[in-house]
Structure 1
Amino acid sequence: MSKRNRRRTPPRPTVVFDFGGVLSAGHDPVPDVHELLGGDGETLGAALWAERDAYDRGAVSPAEYWGAVAAAVGVEQLSAQEISEVQEADNRYFLRLDPAARALLHDLARNRVRLALLSNASEAFGEAVRRADWFEAFTLAVISGEERAVKPEPEIYEVLLDVLAHETGGVSIPSSILFFDDRRDNVEAARALGIDAHLWPRNGEQHPEGTEHGAEIARRVLTERGIPLD
């Protein structure tokens, strides 16, 4: 066999994005939820985030989560319709894509780059994501609420690797995955497994002057890795 035939074909890269604060335009749904539930905004915000980890890991139901948030501002009980409305408000907020992130997705999709989501989010949000028009560009989504594990726990990254291996009909090579997340601990956990992970400054927050937008950081990294964007 010639040396040429013995060469291993480089693995096809996969670009994986977090959602909140990376693809989404912002990371604070509290004002939108406050419009429906009322009460003190700071109290509502504290309750929303205090309970969020359990909701994102699938440990509590929508009724339990939104019921706890509502109770914090004096709303004793939510009907099924009210729970649905609050969840939809939360979904709508996060599904507003950042313009620069949307443009990046467009360029990647146009070049047929394999895309995936890896997000700490509820099952309800996972369903909403898959209904979004832009999700057609994605091969898959790994949602923490569906997997009962959240970043930065190793288990959810292992789920991603397993799903990608299934999609490709072989073994998923961590170094062929480029991952962008707005939390440093999530990035470091991914790197510990060999994933090519990078920090994306959170959309919708103030950053020191001169901080690049995450989409610009991603474009530079992707170009360095030989992934087409033209």
Structure 2
Amino acid sequence: MAKLKVAVFISSRGSNMQSLVRASHDADFPAEIVSVLSNNPEAAGLKFAAENGIATHVIDHRDFETRADFEAEITRYLESAGIELICLAGFMRLLTADFVNHWRDRILNIHPSLLPAFKGLHVHERAIESGARFTGCTVHYVRPEMDDGPIIAQAVVPILQEDTADALAARILEQEHLIYPLALKLVAARQVKIHGNRVLIENPDEPRAAMIYPHTEEA
């Protein structure tokens, strides 16, 4: 089976992009990171991608009069490169419904909460202030609504009494770096099927794959 051709979108250092690239170095990984695209020519993650032999491409949103023009150029580039799937990894531009629908079921995103809880911004502060005992992160298919779409994988992270937003964010980021490659692997291996707003996993390697996925050293 040919490897799925993936583009990763970043706006800064792209730590989740780096975790995807490292996972893709495994000869058995079913996806290939073909391109790292950024709207920011100064994005630090572009250097990492280039050093790992991955093509980089900058489409600066400031060069376009409208968001539609910006996204049309993105689509032109992706289609010319034969991209089959987009992974958003800290891409700090809202995508229009037209773009999302054009690439429907071909865009993944990672969000630092257990969706559908705590959509939007200031996620960690809101989770702590809510009194919740757990939060986490979610990989999902992208829909036009913010932080919405069928959920592929989640990781649970406890909220400690002494937690600050920064401390909680750091622990969640560790889990993001684990579940994003997991989700991409499942999608690229054609094990993911979308039924309405649900994701079903065919022949998972382990019973809990892509479910609520607390990852610990003991697990």
The answer to whether TM tops 0.5 is: no
Identify, as 1 or 2, the structure richer in helix.
1
Identify, as 1 or 2, the structure richer in strand.
2
Give TM class, smaller chain: 0.3 to 0.5
Larger Cα Rg: Structure 1 or Structure 2? 1
- Of structures 1 and 2, the one with the larger relative CO (CA 8 A, separation 6+) is 1
